[in-house]
Chains A and B, each alone.
Chain A
Amino acid sequence: MNAVRIVWRITRLNFRAQLEYRSEFLMMIAIGAVWQVSVIVFATVLLTRFTGMGGWDSSDVLLIPATRMLAHGLFVLFLGRVHGLGRHIQEGRIDVYLLRPMPVYRQVQLEFFPTNAIGDLTVAAGLMWGALARSDLDWTAGRIGYLIAAVLGGMLLEAALFTVVACASLRFPAADYWGRWLEELLGTFGSYPLNVLPRAVGGLLTYGLPLAFVAYFPAAVLTGHDTSVPHWLAAASPLLGLVGYLGARLLWRWSLKHYAGVNG
């Protein structure tokens, strides 16, 4: 319980710290607005222009970006600081964290308050609302429960991927570069029904980089579309997110134990 209290207190302080830089805070809000408009336009435009892509109606297909964006917004809010960790490692911040009596991973997350997550979540919530309003599906308690689980699973899966990159950064600080690519890939390819891609490429985004499990498979399960993987595997996406995240945390623990410091 004490841990929760400390986390809450530091988060409040971090939020206040964001208010300290007046122009930057106002600017982050402005940037948030640009971001919101552009993402909504981007996500809706392609989906409405290419109706029936991969055999999905536009009302169904909207569920994919909505799930992905909501999962992403939650990731940024709660676990987003693992992204870009390489820079802090290079500055020797990890060494400071290792001295304090709090788990390093939690300290990383408490680094600063992600003002931009507010914008991300607003967009995502709007998009989800739009998707649900257009949907002809019968939204039973089971479906809603599964959707919530899928969003949380997507958040954890994204966190797991970035945690793996962060583990690599502990050894090779330049691994941050891969983190930026990962973000771009998730952003651009996470929003489509992946069956429009050739089999090999779709397989790469399923088994190589498990991007399909973030939003595509859960949306397919909800709307009853077939995918390239067995139904049970697609349905297990939220669980996979959880397992992936726990695995990534184990990897993090192992990597931290083998952390050798930077620049002597």
Chain B
Amino acid sequence: MSGSIEVRDLSRTFHTTVRRPGFAGALRSLVNPQKVAKHAVSDVTFSVAPGELLALLGPNGAGKSTTIKMLTGILTPTAGEARVAGVVPYEERERNARNIGAVFGQRTQLWWDLPVRESFAILRDVYEVPKAEHAARLKEFDDLLDLSSFWDTRVRHLSLGQRVRCDLAAALLHDPQVVFLDEPTIGMDVVVKEQVREFLRHQVEERGRTVLLTTHDMTEVERLAERVVLINHGRLMLDGTLDEIRRKFGSTWQVRATLADAHTDAVPLPGIALLRQDGPRVVFGPDGPEAPTVHQALRAIIERYDVTDIAMDEADLEDVMRTAYVQAVGDA
């Protein structure tokens, strides 16, 4: 119960005004606007266990941010239900607010004109955190994120990396069980990214926080998440471990072979496509849903042809996701 996220058949439809093209169209839209419905999220169901880090993945505009907004209580769903740490967020916004922390990408919640530490103090009183506890937590965050070197600086003068680190700390100062992070490391350098990942890992493993993370950085997913949920066009495409995703979409292996006889014309094999041939150098790839694994293919190719050299590449996670996103588009 505590710290879990449960989402059932969650849907959200937006009504937007379509604009007619051209100058006359703009004038007509002014008088008589035309509305269309856009299904940002449809029937999404998933859950996150307490102390688990789940990566919510999907291409731009897939409905990730809308989902997070519903879970933080900012947005009310059109249908379905969500519970965050046992609270329905959009019904009891303030109660939910005490249980959660959130960072929305580059949007800062810190007070622009004040030194960072003052922002922390305001939040401490807003969330009613006891002084000693606040100090202890601040110390912990400082050890992990190096905040003290710039926390007396006014926010307007911070660099992006410094600001996002402060925002992370600000979101976690009241010890929330559940943390929502919408692309937290966007635009950061590798050193800061690594520092933030280390921090998140610490928060999940040592503090037992539940984290829901959206990101486009696949290295981050590999380092942090055991489980991912993939959505596209507002629909849930896959809910599983990284391995399952690889198995489902990762069949984009390639086998490069050099044939002993340069004059042989290679032909496709069952489930194996001939991608290209350049003299003796041939590249094979999987063909269709019944394609063999890379190891089976290797065996079949060696049996069929006389090869002097052979190598295989397995797709990395980014290739896997590309396939998944494109395929998801095809399905939808």
Q: How many interface residues does chain A have, given as a range?
A: under 10
CB nearest to A19 among chain B residues: B26
Kindly provide the distance from the CB of B160 to the nearest chain A CB, expressed in whole angstroms.
8
Chain A positions within 8 Å of B158 at CB level:
263
* Measured CA separation A263–B158 after assembly (Å): 7
Q: How far is the CA of A263 from the CA of B112 in the complex (A)?
A: 12
Contact of A264 among B17, B27, B159 (CB under 8 A): B159
B33 touches A22 (CB 8 A): yes
**Does A16 lie at the interface of the complex (its beta carbon under 8 Å from any beta carbon of B)?**
yes
Number of interface residues of B (CB under 8 A): 12
Which B residue sits closest to A16, measured CB to CB? Answer: B26
Whether A20 sits at the interface, judged by CB under 8 Å, is yes
Residues from chain A with Cβ under 8 Å of B23 in the complex: 12, 16
Determine if A263 and B26 form an interchain contact, defined as CB atoms under 8 angstroms apart: no
Tell yes or no: A25 within 8 A of B by CB.
Answer: yes
CB pair A19–B30 under 8 Å, yes or no, is yes
Which B residues between 8 and 67 are near A, CB-CB below 8 angstroms?
17, 19, 23, 26-27, 29-30, 33
Q: Does residue B156 face the partner (Cβ distance < 8 Å to A)?
A: yes
* Chain B, Cβ-Cβ closest to A25: B30
1/0 contact string of B147-167 vs chain A (CB within 8 Å):
000000000111100000000
A263 and B157: CB pair below 8 A?
yes
State how many angstroms separate the Cβ of A14 from the closest Cβ of chain B: 12
- A264 to B26 alpha-carbon distance, docked (Å): 40
Contacts of B27 in A (CB 8 A): 19
Q: Which chain B residue lies CB-closest to A12? A: B23
Q: Which residues of B contact A19 (CB under 8 A)?
A: 26-27, 29-30
A20 to B28, CA, bound (A): 10
How near does chain A come to B149, taking the closest CB pair, in angstroms? Answer: 15
Q: Are B156 and A263 in contact (CB under 8 A)?
A: yes
The chain B residue sitting closest to A173, CB to CB, is B156
Closest A residue to B28 by CB, please name it: A19
> How far is B159's CA from A16's CA once the two chains are assembled, in angstroms?
37
In the complex, what residues of B have CB within 8 A of residue A25's CB? 30
Chain A residues in 8 Å Cβ range of B29: 19-20, 22
The chain B residue with its CB closest to the CB of A18 is B26
Complexed CA–CA distance, A137 and B57 (Å): 76
Per-residue interface assignment for chain A, residues 230 to 247, with 1 indicating a CB less than 8 Å from any chain B CB and 0 otherwise:
000000000000000000
Cα distance A12–B24 in the bound complex, in angstroms: 12
Asked if A20 and B19 make an inter-chain contact with CB atoms under 8 angstroms apart, the answer reads yes
Chain A residues contacting B26 (CB-CB under 8 Å) are 16, 19-20
Docked complex: A14-38 residues within 8 A CB-CB of B: 16, 19-20, 22, 25
A22–B19 Cα distance when bound, in Å, is 11
The smallest C-beta distance from B36 to any residue of chain A, in angstroms, reads 16
Asked whether, in the complex, the Cβ of A22 is within 8 Å of the Cβ of B30, the reply is: yes
B159 x A263 contact (CB < 8 A): yes
A203 to B17, CA, bound (A): 56
Collect the chain B residues with CB atoms within 8 Å of residue A22's CB.
Answer: 17, 29-30, 33
Distance in angstroms from B194 CB to nearest chain A CB is: 21
Most chain B CB inside 10 Å of its own CB: which residue of A12, A19, A22, A264? A19
Query: From residue B178, how far is it (CB to closest CB) to chain A in Å?
Result: 32
A263 CA / B30 CA spacing, docked (Å): 39
Q: Which residues of B contact A20 (CB under 8 A)?
A: 19, 26, 29
Most buried by A among B26, B27, B29, B159: B26
Residues of B contacting A12 with CB < 8 Å?
23
Contacts of A16 in B (CB 8 A): 23, 26
**Assembled-state Cα–Cα distance A264/B156 (Å):** 11
Residue of B nearest to A22 (CB): B30
Nearest Cβ on chain B to A256's Cβ, whole angstroms = 22
By beta carbon, the residue of chain A nearest B17 is: A22
Q: A25 CA to B156 CA in the complex, in Å?
A: 33
The A216-240 residues at the B interface (CB cut-off 8 A) are none
A-B pairs, 10 with minimum CB distance: A19-B26, A16-B26, A19-B30, A22-B30, A264-B159, A16-B23, A22-B33, A19-B27, A20-B19, A25-B30
- List 20 contacting pairs A-B, 8 Å CB cutoff, sorted by A: A12-B23, A16-B23, A16-B26, A19-B26, A19-B27, A19-B29, A19-B30, A20-B19, A20-B26, A20-B29, A22-B17, A22-B29, A22-B30, A22-B33, A25-B30, A263-B156, A263-B157, A263-B158, A263-B159, A264-B159
Instruction: Point out residues on A near B: beta carbons under 8 Å.
Output: 12, 16, 19-20, 22, 25, 263-264
